[in-house]
Structure 1
């Protein structure tokens, strides 16, 4: 079911699709079932999610009028994923073992993994990590202190969150808790082949590249991530970098070599450097990247590094796929990943 079909169901308040998906409104931060009787928003403010848990993972809260979480899904995979998401959310401090979760849901680990990837595009472990990080960020902004926030979010120790801070927060937890205070960021948003492109940078280089359907949502995401940073639109300063990225997306500049300013662990930097070496029009598997780095057992860690890449396109994480050829996930939407790879393959062979 594509976005256009979902939007038609929302406009018609079609009860047949309750449980099939939910829609969220960026201006209100609320998500609803398709048949909700609330006032219909502008299309540009709407985002669609396969299950309520995915909407909450993105920071939206449930509508108190239509109670979207109470809708019964027709697809058994959705029902399975939702039940396991509830198990994970109830105990954020308990490791999300695939074997344990599948046993609790009366299914096999393989079926559970396939269901999660089909519905949410992530594994149960990735879902748990993202939800826990989201709770940690919320607690940091509310409490302003690291220790209470990390234990409330389900982390077992300060060392665990600090060792992953660069990869997940882009700065130390204490600095993130201050909303990026002291950081100056310029940004620009322009149309591109994949929708809207946001490029943000510090004086040292590009710190964020995002792709979306509308500019306000991309800007809102940047400000939400760094509420205390000094952020200002500056098209002139970023004009040359934006032009290079858009030319790359159009196939007119296959190779990008732009300066970046991203805070990362040593391992994460090694992964991103490996991604930048993947030739235009080619792909590599997560396991191939791990072996190239000299650690064949680091496949999952490589996948996590790809998922936390803050500078899409510049660091081409879209060129990494699963060993079986499946595209895997992509922060900016699996359809965009598919289109990127198709465009690059076409240009490389033309």
Structure 2
């Protein structure tokens, strides 16, 4: 899927004017409230700096925003499909329920049909929508220092063990065991292309990954094992640094990053990752180009594997590597993010040259 560059000033003007020309084409996420709306929402208009714009509902949900209750951005899809309306109503009525395919079948629907319908309309499946909401609320509650029980209630789980099990799948440790004194600490970093999990020690960043990446739990477990269980929730200075620098990157002010990194990998993968960091923002390379850059022109496949093993997204810009034919090829964070990042970096091209 290709994305046109978003003129966010024009979208904000449309939001203020409640202009219907972008209806269904763009949505706004309001960082001060954590909700997303149609641009025609009748609610009081947010400040420009609190707005993030997305072309799909799925991207709003993946970025951690809840749908607005006043303008009901999920409404049109529900009105067009009674099955979607039924399940959204059920999800809203039972936020503390852990949804499964069995629940979908019980309501008289075919799980595969439901998956296709939600994916088509929202960009995420019904079960993914429920899971993302629970994880988001639970992570934010714990980050703010709330108790495990309170975090459980915020996340909508019907039992403490249910919440601990779900959180363990993400971070590899039950939330009640965090002491706040761990050697490695993880925190949530919000970005215009979705929430990311950052892990750092006192001096360097070890991981920066999109929260919905399937391989994230395995990466976190590896870090936790390497730190002998010393992985908790909280912030060290490198996470504050990367948060600030990512804001500058997405605002068009910072084409490069200087956050200290600890790269966990073989000597070969670290060489590949170092070569990736030499690709200027606004430019792309092929796997073959990277292989030549590290002096191993026949190692194209190994370079591709190392590219896919990168666990510090954006800062180690594996999104800038494309196929020899110009195709986007794979990206663990999703091809829509890869295209979006490349589009965002185009205005850096002149400075890089």
Report the Cα offset of residue 173 of structure 1: 0.6
Alignment partner of 2:167 out of 161, 165, 168: 165
Report the Cα offset of residue 24 of structure 1: 1.2
CA distance in 2: counterparts of 1:87 and 1:36, whole angstroms: 24
Structure 2 match to 1:119: 121
Report the Cα offset of residue 171 of structure 1: 4.9
CA distance in 2: counterparts of 1:145 and 1:184, whole angstroms: 20
Q: CA separation of 1:340/1:46 partners in 2, compared to 1, >3 Å: closer, same or farther?
A: closer
Alignment partner of 2:93 out of 85, 90, 93: 90
Alignment partner of 2:52 out of 37, 46, 51: 46
Report the Cα offset of residue 135 of structure 1: 3.0
Helix, strand or coil at the partner of 1:68:
coil
Question: In the alignment, is residue 246 of structure 1 matched against residue 277 of structure 2?
Answer: yes
Structure 1 match to 2:29: 24
- Which structure 2 residues correspond to residues 323-334 of structure 1 after superposition, within 5 A? 331=333, 333-334=334-335
TM-score, with structure 2 as normaliser: 0.51
Alignment partner of 2:39 out of 31, 34, 42: 34
Report the Cα offset of residue 113 of structure 1: 0.9
Report the Cα offset of residue 23 of structure 1: 0.9
CA distance in 1: counterparts of 2:336 and 2:166, whole angstroms: 29
**Counterpart contact for 1:98–1:109, Cα < 8 Å:** yes
Alignment partner of 2:19 out of 7, 11, 14: 14
**Counterpart contact for 1:155–1:161, Cα < 8 Å:** yes
Q: CA separation of 1:162/1:25 partners in 2, compared to 1, >3 Å: closer, same or farther?
A: closer
Report the Cα offset of residue 335 of structure 1: 1.9
CA distance in 2: counterparts of 1:182 and 1:35, whole angstroms: 46
- Which structure 2 residues correspond to residues 160-309 of structure 1 after superposition, within 5 A? 160-169=162-171, 171-174=173-176, 201-202=200-201, 206-209=206-209, 228-230=235-237, 231-233=239-241, 238=260, 243-247=274-278, 250-251=284-285, 253=290, 279-281=302-304
Cα RMSD (Å): 5.6
Q: CA separation of 1:8/1:151 partners in 2, compared to 1, >3 Å: closer, same or farther?
A: closer
**Counterpart contact for 2:37–2:73, Cα < 8 Å:** no
Helix, strand or coil at the partner of 1:122:
coil
Gaps of 5+ in 2: 212-231, 243-256, 264-272, 293-300, 322-328, 343-353
- Which structure 2 residues correspond to residues 316-327 of structure 1 after superposition, within 5 A? none
**Counterpart contact for 2:200–2:236, Cα < 8 Å:** no
Q: CA separation of 1:118/1:336 partners in 2, compared to 1, >3 Å: closer, same or farther?
A: same
TM-score, with structure 1 as normaliser: 0.51
Q: Name the count of aligned residue pairs.
A: 264
Gaps of 5+ in 1: 212-224, 256-277, 283-305, 320-326, 342-350
Structure 2 match to 1:260: none
CA distance in 2: counterparts of 1:16 and 1:79, whole angstroms: 26
Helix, strand or coil at the partner of 1:69:
coil
Q: Larger relative CO (CA 8 A, sep 6+): 1 or 2?
A: 2
**Counterpart contact for 1:165–1:173, Cα < 8 Å:** yes
Residue deviations 1:118-151 (CA, integer Å, cap 9, x gap): 2333332222222222232344456732245336
Report the Cα offset of residue 50 of structure 1: 3.0
CA distance in 2: counterparts of 1:19 and 1:70, whole angstroms: 8
